Amino acid sequence: MSEPETSIFALSSDDAGVFNWNVDTNLLCADEHFADIFGLDPQEVRDGLPIEAYLAAVWEGDRRDVAKTLHQAISTGGSCFQDYHVARPDGSIVHVVGIGRCFRNIEGEATRYVGVVFDDVELDEQQCEKLLSGHYRNSQQSLFELDEDDVADVLASAVNRLEHDDEDKKKPLVVHH
């Protein structure tokens, strides 16, 4: 191509849930869409819940891998791309893709983990049955790949959206690659 290849992720509040986990206090705050994806109370999620509240919503078959990958990202200070399922209180199972990154303080200790979660697919009843019976497994393969600059841009915009008023959250988040 003669022009640089450009990938644009236009994320409205309907496309992705944005979160910010304070590792020191173990409180994860997120927006309304994130709360909806996980089937949790939006006000409680906005105020912050322990990470265990979110991990409890991850489908049992994926929970260990999700926790292990989060632990690795916190331990290394790296980025994380995950593909997993959330079991909502109403019994529905939602396929999600999460992108996050750990940030460290000057001493090298993990302090924040921020990111976005996309609700990729809502599974129908038959797919839920397959998943629950163990015949359907997540491939753990990313649906798309981002480089470190893309991750930094997505996460900086995500933090900005969490820190500003509701009007700013309605603006699209655009990341150029």
Contact between 49 and 35 under an 8 Å Cβ cutoff? The reply is: no
* Containing structural domain, residue 127: 16-145
pTM of the model: 0.64
CATH code for the domain of 61: 3.30.450.20
Sign of CA dihedral 44, 119, 150, 68: positive
Residue 169: C-alpha distances to residues 77, 81, 121 (Å): 27, 23, 23
Total number of domains constituting the chain: 1
Q: Would you state the structure tokens that stand for residue 55, as one six-digit string?
A: 């991990």
Tell me, what's the pLDDT at 160? Answer: 54
> Does residue 10 belong to any structural domain of this protein?
no
- pLDDT tens for the chain, 177 residues: list them: 233 222 223 344 566 899 999 999 999 999 999 999 999 999 999 999 999 999 999 999 999 999 999 999 999 988 888 889 999 999 889 899 888 999 999 999 999 999 989 886 554 455 545 544 443 333 333 333 345 555 555 555 555 555 554 444 444 333 333
> Does residue 11 belong to any structural domain of this protein?
no
3-state SS class at 171: coil
> Does residue 140 belong to any structural domain of this protein?
yes
